[in-house]
Amino acid sequence: MIRTQISLEAQEYKLLKREAAAQGISIAEFVRQAIREKLPRAGERPWMCYAGDIESGNPQASQHIDDVIYDAWD
Amino acid sequence: MPGTEAYVDTSAFIALRDRSDSYHALFEKLFGNPPPLVTSALVIAEGHTWFLRRYNTERAFQFLDLIRRLGTMLTIQPFDPAELHSAARFARKFGDQRLTLADAHGLAIMAERRIQACWSTDRHLSLTGVPLVIGTA
């Protein structure tokens, strides 16, 4: 393992400590798990981590993009 | 690589990310094993603006990261004066359709590179006869 140092906001550290304790794991293990979730898995297309990461509830979201970008026009 | 490339429009990126979109499953499958992809620099600007206005800066940055992660799989055609001239030609040709410049540039790119597959949910991108993947899947 490589030892490294990171800086966190006080509030982030507080939440991290609480969540790790709730799961019964160390802060270091919590951070390692979070990093493993974020990094692309070996052999996986790295851009696919964004596939389905949004749930708008709108089945036509991609069909009316001009309304959002250029404001609604007729 | 004329003939084997696919052109990617803003709407394809949105459908990929939004699991509620009716074309999400299709684009998830396509992006999972893509051919060489081509898009316009204007599509990148549109996509960033869309996620920024519809959601927030975080989602807009994630869109840019998605583009970065595509790496060499995606060729981004710059928008220089020559491209402006080509795009304007298509915008004028289909003036009654009120094409955005991004759409017009997409039509110009597909014509120039002889691209025969268009990843889009926007019917404007099929004006020159290139089939939309949503109609052929």
Distance of residue A43 Cα from the nearest chain B Cα, in angstroms? 11
- pLDDT tens readout for residues B80-115: 999 999 999 999 999 898 899 999 999 999 999 999
In the DSSP assignment, the letter for residue B27 is H
Q: Predicted confidence band at B1 (pLDDT cuts at 50, 70, 90)?
A: very low
Does A45 sit within 8 Å of B66, measured CB to CB? no
Of residues A63, A45, A70, the one with CA closest to residue B18: A63
Full-prediction pTM beyond 0.90? no
Average pLDDT, chain B: 94
Per-residue pLDDT, averaged over B59-77, amounts to 96
* Range name among A57-66, B10-19, B42-51 with the lowest pLDDT average: A57-66
Residues of chain A with Cβ-Cβ distance to B37 below 8 Å are: none
Does B62 sit within 8 Å of A50, measured CB to CB? yes
Does A48 sit within 8 Å of B18, measured CB to CB? no
Q: Predicted confidence band at B137 (pLDDT cuts at 50, 70, 90)?
A: low
Contacts for A66 with CB less than 8 Å, ≥ 6 apart: A73, B100
* Secondary structure (3-state) at B18: strand
In this structure, chain B runs to a length of 137
| Structural contact between residues B31 and A64, judged by C-beta atoms closer than 8 angstroms | no
Does B24 sit within 8 Å of A58, measured CB to CB? no
| Structural contact between residues B47 and B102, judged by C-beta atoms closer than 8 angstroms | no
Q: Predicted confidence band at A37 (pLDDT cuts at 50, 70, 90)?
A: confident
Question: What's the pLDDT score for residue A67?
Answer: 82
Question: What's the pLDDT score for residue B3?
Answer: 56
Interface residues from chain A to B (CB-CB < 8 Å): 40, 45-63, 65-66, 68-70, 73
Whether B121 and chain A come into contact, CB under 8 Å, resolves to: yes
Question: What's the pLDDT score for residue A72?
Answer: 62
Most A CBs within 10 Å, among B69, B96, B120, B125, to test the A interface: B69
What ipTM does this complex have?
A: 0.91
- pLDDT tens readout for residues B21-50: 999 999 999 999 999 999 999 999 999 999
Residues of chain A with Cβ-Cβ distance to B12 below 8 Å are: 62
To the nearest 5 percent, what fractions of chain A are helix, strand and coil?
55, 0, 45
Question: What's the pLDDT score for residue A35?
Answer: 86
Give me the helix-helix angle, B41-54 and B101-113, nearest 10°: 150
Q: How many whole angstroms separate alpha carbon B94 and alpha carbon B88?
A: 10
Per-residue pLDDT, averaged over A56-70, amounts to 88
